[in-house]
Structure 1
Amino acid sequence: MQIPIIEKRRKRGRQWRLFSGSHGTFSISRRNQKVYKTFFFLFILMLNSNIIGMAESSHAAKIDTLMNAYLKNELFDGVVLVAEKGHIIYKKAFGLADREWNIPMTIDTKFKIGSISKPFTAFVILQLVQDGLIRLDGTIADYIPDYKCKYQDRMTIHQLLTHTSGLLDALEPEEEAIKERLFHELRDLIKYAEAAEFYFDPGSGFHYSNFGYNILAYIAEKVTGKTFDILLKERIFEPIGMMDTREYRDTGIEERLAKGYEYKLLKGFENATFFDNSYAVGSGGLISTAEDLYKWHRALLTDQYISNELKEKMFEPTRSSQYGYGWSIGKKLCENSRDTLTIAEHSGSVNGFGSYIAHILRDTSLVVVLKNWRDDTFISPAYAPTIGQEIISILYGERVSLPQRSIAKHMAFYIGRDGFDQAKNEYFRIKKEDFESYSFAESELNKLGIELFFRFHMIDDALHVFAMNMNEFPKSYNTYDSYAYILMQKNEYASAIHYYRQGLDILRMYPEENNSEQVQKDAQQALQFIEEMEKKLH
């Protein structure tokens, strides 16, 4: 089909000539010019709409292929919503909301969204700035007179919003595992930061701080006389129509709330440990749905709730970081167009849940990924931000590799349940019968050996895994290096020296297969280890 072209005659301004390829030429009188111009405009508009629609359909199909691969490979349970240029092109639920009762996930399932709560806290603070109740250059001492620390007269609202205050991020993991299970009044919660040392002088660096956002919530309560959950409800959730979003209450009955899980490397899925939500007011205590977060996205496109001036500040990173007011502001270079996208994004992680939201500021696109389980391993974790960023790549024409199951993760479960020998048999069974579904990259067994040794102190199992990897990838220096390192830790110096030297021989024999800066560093380290062990042997 040839597209008609309109060209104005230079000599006769009263007529237009319509060319239509092989269909000949005819003239249009001045009287009918308006009709044909209108028809042509509508034709082009319809054509553009069809092209955009086809692009959106193509993107949706590719996103669906990606997400179905995550589901098939047991890497994702949750909800994904994607809007392109302001319109939803994809929303779908995957897997189970409750594993014990086999309850499927639905689009309107609620999730704990963790630190995606921070943009809402920042938004309330900016509304209070707009109302004249808070100043961005106001200090903690201005709003919490009894707050006593080294810098209460210097630490500003701006610094708390942008994580440039130098405040403590969180307690040490062992202590936090206890404290997070206890109920806290908000004033008592912020005492942990009040008593802690600063990372740096306020305004001189960047360090992410959950306690900074707890303090912001408390300041909002102080200047309004209302609890923070009421402020959120009155100022954001009700006006925008986010009826499924609120501060979570542990004792409340919450319909359609997904159950949270943790994936343990040696055990598989377990129920998430208890977390008292009072520990996360302002920093990570909200529950929401994908569709409510889309409503939030649409609201941010207007100046109905805060001024454009304040909204610009919200999405403007500081000089010392890539964080604005409640949002991480990132840049993405598109491989195909060489264009650079500005992305306002945030991830969230709380016991049993992972989440990610991204606004592409240039064209009002949105990506939301909500999960109801977390990994406690670095082996094939399928983090919500990783999935979200892959979806963004799809939206901008980049190639994305489909995920595979991790053979190392699969083996780890068997090691924990049945021991190494059974795990080894399972490895070779799958390699023979279902090779295409799993990743058998060299890094798989290497990561497994590292976690077994450093996290679980299972020295013999780690040694067996590294020995397997050495046999599977005999031309890789790294496999010999890892095996020798464990032998050295067992004080088996003669054997460790032997395998380090064997690895160095492999490096000389197969330089192309081992051409990386890290391998060269490891090889230099190996020479030092050999020298030290030879001294001990003699």
Structure 2
Amino acid sequence: MKNITFSLLLITFSTYASAQNLIHQIDSLVTLKVSEYELSGNVLVAEKGKIIYQQSNGIANSVTNTPVTSASAFHLASVSKLFTSIAILQLNEKGKLNLNDPVKKYIPELDNGVITISQLLSHTSGLADYQILEKPYNQDTSKIFTIGDIPLIINNDKNAFRSAPGEKWSYSNPGYNLLALIIEKITKTSFPDYLSKYVFKPAGMLHTYINTPLIKVNDPNRVVGYDYLYFAPWVLQRADSLGHNHIELHHIDGLIGMANVVSTSEDLLKFDQSLYIGKIIKQSSLDKAFTPIRLNNGELAETGWKNTKSYFGLGWCILKDSTYGKVVFHTGGMPGAVTMFSRNIIRNQTVIVLNNITHRSTHNTAMSLMYLMNGGKAQTDKKSVANEFVRTLTKHDINTAWAQLNSIKADTAHFYLDEHEMNMNGIGMFFNNYKAKGMEVLRLNTVLFPNSANVYDSLGMALADSGDKPNAILMYKKALAINPKFTSAINALKKLTGD
């Protein structure tokens, strides 16, 4: 009897030690990401619905110095598409629609009579992304687009479809705007009201809602989105303070179906668990959603990169690596929000990462947490040369920053250099109390990427804002010499020269 008792104690201790080691590994990864200024937000890891790790880091609002807490509500960006998928599948269960129905059956004003609901869900309709909004936006820069505008915009754009339906996988936000419009037309109710009644409330998600410039919800727990984090203690760049984000955070932000759901990590766990018990949708519908779509040529639709390479089903990514079970997920990204909601449906494991700063490593961090949950290893991310340069420049001076740049840019095993990141860092600094140093970053980018029209356009913008009209004109002309159709440079040059 004593031997049996001792064995049970040994097993219990071993299990406890293993669990503690896992929590230590998870915490070490999260702590690393916070220390490297890549994470300001909430991380939640659960198994069988029980939270085994939960951590809040960073600032929810830098003006009021409010910290992120477990109650903080985040814009989910494209993770919002999961709720659109659930709503469509609910209507399919009720016989209100068929997934193979042509979209035109429910949106008769749409000219295209071929694409189906299933193809919109799976991003295989061939419909382009938000490039289709560029022309109508330029015609009326004060307009906030709604889902009711999308059919006519598609009809008026001869390039609205990039490929034949079912030919290839191509991400399309407007496709999910059309799905939201279908839901409204079938149910005769608004999309936000439908989600609230048939998804959020039944799942117990009492802190989840849709928020847009046209549907404003006053929530003191909602975080502010920041584009860049330079260094602790939290020098943050508001995403909505930067001009290049204006179209996405204002003009497109009135659109629903593809984004604009706001939620908490704990509400998302409730959503996750409700899917296991058929509370809001049948298992048979989820099975369809979690089955990779086949293209016209018989191949499976694929997406993702690095450790998030996946197939795509009806609104869900299905991780190609099935070593640890079947992992389904969706990522999200917009200025001031990067998110990931991941589920191992074989082992009932959940990983939720909600970040209120724009950082490219968030998705890999979330997937690494899922790997750690199953005895795997965290993925190693390269560091950003742009971010390292800007942080050093902000803390010190241009000479120190240049010295560091020269020492790390050739180390491609550990660092990567991205034109867009350097450009956005420079613009962010320029318009937020670091004018001179921001200009240095923009000048540097023209040296690093001399064949890019965009870097000269951005430098021209900064020079024009500083009152240096002659050199601003030179930069815009340089941008147009590289790309004669660069719209922002054309418009800026006309404004400066009066031509």
Tell me if TM exceeds 0.5: yes
Q: Which amino acid aligns with 1:288?
A: S
C-alpha separation in 1, matches of 2:442 and 2:56: 41
- Given the alignment of the two structures, is residue 125 of structure 1 paired with residue 88 of structure 2, yes or no? yes
The residue number in structure 2 matching 1:447 is 417
What is the Cα deviation at residue 55 of structure 1? 3.2
- Given the alignment of the two structures, is residue 300 of structure 1 paired with residue 300 of structure 2, yes or no? no
Equivalence map 1:33-72=2 (5 Å): 52-72=15-35
The residue number in structure 2 matching 1:312 is 287
61, 68, 72: which one pairs with 1:109?
72
What is the Cα deviation at residue 343 of structure 1? 1.2
Q: Output the aligned Cα RMSD.
A: 3.9
C-alpha separation in 1, matches of 2:55 and 2:415: 34
Q: Structure 1 residues 47, 313: closer, same or farther in 2, change over 3 A?
A: farther
Equivalence map 1:80-479=2 (5 Å): 80-149=43-112, 152=113, 154-171=114-131, 182-196=143-157, 197=159, 198-250=161-213, 251-263=216-228, 269-273=236-240, 274=246, 275-276=249-250, 278-320=253-295, 321=301, 322-332=311-321, 339-375=323-359, 381-382=360-361, 384-400=362-378, 409-413=387-391, 420-424=398-402, 441-442=411-412, 447=417, 461=444
C-alpha separation in 1, matches of 2:444 and 2:90: 56
Q: Structure 1 residues 235, 416: closer, same or farther in 2, change over 3 A?
A: same
Structure with the bigger RCO (C-alpha within 8 Å, sep 6+) is 2
Deviation by residue 1:3-35 (Cα, 9 ceiling, x = unmatched): 53xxxxxxxxxxxxxxx99xxxxxxxxxxxxxx
C-alpha separation in 1, matches of 2:405 and 2:266: 41
Q: Which amino acid aligns with 1:447?
A: L
What is the Cα deviation at residue 50 of structure 1? 6.1
Q: Which amino acid aligns with 1:270?
A: Q
Q: Which amino acid aligns with 1:58?
A: N
The residue number in structure 2 matching 1:469 is none
What is the Cα deviation at residue 193 of structure 1? 3.0
Q: Structure 1 residues 264, 98: closer, same or farther in 2, change over 3 A?
A: closer
Could you list the runs of 5+ residues in structure 2 that have no partner in the other structure?
241-245, 296-300, 302-310, 427-439, 453-499
Instruction: Answer whether contact 2:390 2:425 (CA < 8 A) is retained.
Output: no
C-alpha separation in 2, matches of 1:261 and 1:462: 22
Q: Which amino acid aligns with 1:356?
A: M
C-alpha separation in 2, matches of 1:459 and 1:292: 41
Q: Structure 1 residues 173, 223: closer, same or farther in 2, change over 3 A?
A: closer
Q: Structure 1 residues 47, 446: closer, same or farther in 2, change over 3 A?
A: closer
Instruction: Answer whether contact 2:45 2:51 (CA < 8 A) is retained.
Output: yes
Q: Structure 1 residues 409, 455: closer, same or farther in 2, change over 3 A?
A: closer
C-alpha separation in 2, matches of 1:414 and 1:450: 18
Q: Give secondary structure in 2 for the equivalent of 1:188.
A: helix
Q: Structure 1 residues 446, 342: closer, same or farther in 2, change over 3 A?
A: closer
Q: Structure 1 residues 340, 417: closer, same or farther in 2, change over 3 A?
A: closer
C-alpha separation in 1, matches of 2:374 and 2:71: 28
Q: Structure 1 residues 61, 191: closer, same or farther in 2, change over 3 A?
A: farther
Q: Structure 1 residues 446, 141: closer, same or farther in 2, change over 3 A?
A: closer
The residue number in structure 2 matching 1:527 is none
The residue number in structure 1 matching 2:489 is none
Could you list the runs of 5+ residues in structure 1 that have no partner in the other structure?
5-19, 22-42, 334-338, 376-380, 432-437, 466-481, 487-538
Deviation by residue 1:414-438 (Cα, 9 ceiling, x = unmatched): 558987424236779xx9xxxxxx9
Q: Give secondary structure in 2 for the equivalent of 1:55.
A: helix
Deviation by residue 1:498-525 (Cα, 9 ceiling, x = unmatched): xxxxxxxxxxxxxxxxxxxxxxxxxxxx
Q: Which amino acid aligns with 1:72?
A: S
Moved more, 55-64 or 210-219: 55-64
Q: Give secondary structure in 1 for the equivalent of 2:19.
A: helix
C-alpha separation in 1, matches of 2:423 and 2:382: 25
Number of equivalent positions: 409
The residue number in structure 2 matching 1:28 is none
What is the Cα deviation at residue 195 of structure 1? 3.2
Q: Which amino acid aligns with 1:195?
A: N
Identical aligned residues as a percent: 26
What is the Cα deviation at residue 98 of structure 1? 1.1
C-alpha separation in 2, matches of 1:299 and 1:52: 28
What is the Cα deviation at residue 158 of structure 1? 1.0
